[in-house]
Amino acid sequence: MTAWNNSELELVSHSLGDFSLTTHFRALAYDLSLTVTNVYGPCDHSKTRSFLDELSSIASRTTGAWTIVGDYNLTCFPSDKSNDNFDLNEAHLFNSTIDNLGLLEIPLLDRLFT
């Protein structure tokens, strides 16, 4: 779900993917545009590649400020898990996508896991 204040932002466009909702906004008071992508990564890890390909496709169509929020259902490192169930191949695919798209993670403060 994406919510916004209509007096501050105008919805320019939106698109729905298999794992995402992308909304493009224009600020009404400033010369500013922002794209927000909400994701819910598949729990069925046989669909991980499709999910990551969708993110790459969105990135190729997006210019300017872009944020991706949501639940990826993937981890980067074993220390990101609360158990020993870690898939190195999935982590490599995820980390490669993060690097290729130039994404930066906002750190989670005061807790280890969401």
Tell me the per-residue pLDDT of 55-99, one tens digit each, with 9 for 90 and over. 999 999 999 999 999 999 999 988 888 888 888 999 999 999 999
Per-residue pLDDT tens digits for 19-55: 999 999 999 999 999 999 999 999 999 999 999 999 9
- DSSP three-state, residue 4: coil
Q: Is the pLDDT of residue 114 over 60?
A: no
Please report how the helices 88-101 and 48-61 are oriented relative to each other, as an axis angle in degrees rounded to 10.
0
Q: What are the structural domains, with CATH classification, of the chain?
A: 9-101 (3.60.10.10)
Question: Which is higher by pLDDT, 114 or 100?
Answer: 100
Question: Looking at residue 37, what is its pLDDT?
Answer: 98
Segment (H or E) for 55: helix 48-61
